[in-house]
Every structure is written in C-alpha cells, then in structure tokens.
Amino acid sequence: MTPAIIITGASRGIGAATAIMAAEQGYGVCVNYRSDRDAAHRVVESIVEEGGNAVPVSADVSQQEEVAALFDASEAALGPTSALVNNAGILELQSQFKNIDAKRFRRVLETNVMGTFNCLQEAIRRMSLSQGGSGGAIVNVSSVAARTGSPYEYVDYAASKAAVDTMTAGVAREVAPDGIRVNIVRPGFIYTDMHADGGEPERVDRLASGIPLQRGGQPEEVATAILWLLSDKSRYAVGASLDVTGGV
C-alpha cells in the first residue's frame, strides 16, 4: 500500500503545491480544505490525471470533531496516515496592533494554533508506536512572521505562528521516542492568494527588492522543503525549523 499523507489547506497555494508534489513522490494524498470545494477538486483531478491517488475532504481544522472525521475519511480512502502537513492558515486585513480586536485575534488563533493542535493530537494518537501505530512524520507550516512580528500588518498572525513554533519544539521531543518526527517549515513571502486576504494582492512584489534573493518564492519551493522534512532523507531532524525565505 502507498503511504498516505494528510495535507490541511491543500485546495490552494502552498498546500496544493505540496499535495501535487507528494502524489508525484508516491503518496496517496488527502486534500483537505475548508470551503473552496472546486479548488480542492481541481487539485485532486490534476493528481488523478497524472496517475496518482487523492481524495478531497472538507473539514475546518479548528473544530476537533471535524478533524477526527477528516482522519477517518482519509484512512477509509487511503489507509493509515503516515504523514501530516499542518498547512491550513489564515490572516486578516493588514492593521496596526491597536486596531486588532479580540474577536479577530481569537479567529486567527482558532485556525492557526488550535487547528494545528487538533491535527497534532489526532495524528499522534494514531501514529504512536506505543499505541499500536506505525510512526510517521509531521511538518508544521509556520512563517517568517514568527521572527519579525509583522508590525503594522498582522501581529495576531505572527503571534499565532510563534505559538506553532514553540508547540512544535515541545511536542517534537515528546513524540520522537514514539516513532514520530515533527519539524517546521517557515516560508517567507510566497506568491499565493493569502496576501489578497490581507488586502494587498501584490504584497510579494512590493517587498521583493528587500529580499536578499531579490524575488518572492513559489509555492513549489516551499513544498520541496516540506517533502524533504517528511522523507527519510531528513531522518535525524527532530524539532528542526527550516526557513524558506530567500534570505529574509
């Protein structure tokens, strides 16, 4: 049986690129999405057209019961989960910190932090050698924002990604003896739809000249790093953080 991978937020952007590359590398892919059904189905169709195996599953990662159903659906279609990418993430309109209200802060934390927490819990329960699982590998997608704090844009988002980093540092060391490797990829400025959600679709082009490599990144460049950290080639990496930022 081919190894099965769940990629959250795989209908678009970095998640979609990771799903397509994972299928090329022989994974059966669970393409999770929240609401953009058409986009998720397009990702699945492109994988199947190339001879791969993929299934779309809708679930809001911030909801614990939906995450359990996501893992059940993936396992029913693809077999036991051996890899997970906690990629689903949101940000909201660029704002100064003083204009970010508590409701918004909670929304961002619900998806970015609690979503990652929910999926980690579910995966660890199913993968742990001590609980009858076969082990596995997990990558949590953080952001360069965890380092910079994203002043005048989205301090709430940056704080959520710092929480992901710290959660990963702890959980990676707890579950390594149980056959599960957890690591982090931190993208920089990548060409995806996310910047439009912040109110500035052309944000990456505006910032490109300040990036040491003088350009924004492509989702595939992040996907390559994620898949390396999931592969046996990185088998001694635990709790590592790989920046894919063009030098920012």
Q: Which residues bind ligand NAP (CB under 6 A)?
A: 8-15, 32-36, 39, 60-62, 87-90, 111, 115, 141, 143, 187, 189-190, 192-194
Task: State the nearest-atom distance from the C-beta of 177 to ligand NAP, in Å.
Answer: 28
- State the Cα–Cα distance between residues 96 and 187, nearest whole angstrom: 22
Rank residues 105 and 135 by Cβ distance to ligand NAP and give the closer one.
105
CB 39 within 8 A of CB 58: no
157: annotated active-site residue: yes
Least distance (Å) between residue 102 CB and ligand NAP: 19
**Distance between CA atoms of residues 59 and 33, nearest Å:** 6
Closest to ligand NAP by CB, 133 vs 158, is 158
Q: Cβ of residue 189: shortest distance to ligand NAP, in angstroms?
A: 5
In the complex, what is the shortest distance from the CB of residue 108 to ligand NAP, in angstroms, rounded to a whole number?
Answer: 10
Q: Rounded CA gap, 122 and 200, in Å?
A: 35
d(CA 70, CA 152): 36
Q: Compare residues 87 and 183 and give the one whose CB is closer to ligand NAP.
A: 87
DSSP 114: I
108 phi and psi, to 5 degrees?
-65, -45
Q: How many other CB atoms sit within 10 Å of the CB of residue 151?
A: 10
69 vs 60: CA distance, rounded Å: 10
Closer Cβ to ligand NAP, 85 or 180, answer by number: 85
CB atoms within 10 A of CB 102: 8
Closest CB 13 distance from ligand NAP, rounded Å: 2
What is the token pair recorded at 146? 């965890």
Q: What does the DSSP 8-state code read for residue 177?
A: G
CB of 215 to ligand NAP, least distance (A): 13
Q: Contact, 195 vs 203, CB < 8 A?
A: yes
Among candidate residues 27, 33, 154, 157, the one labeled active-site is 157
β-pairing verdict for 81-86 and 136-141 = parallel
Tokens representing residue 9 in the block: 């937020």
**Which residue, 181 or 186, has its beta carbon nearer to ligand NAP?**
186
Q: Which is nearer to ligand NAP, 58 or 134 (CB)?
A: 58
Residues annotated as catalytic are: 157
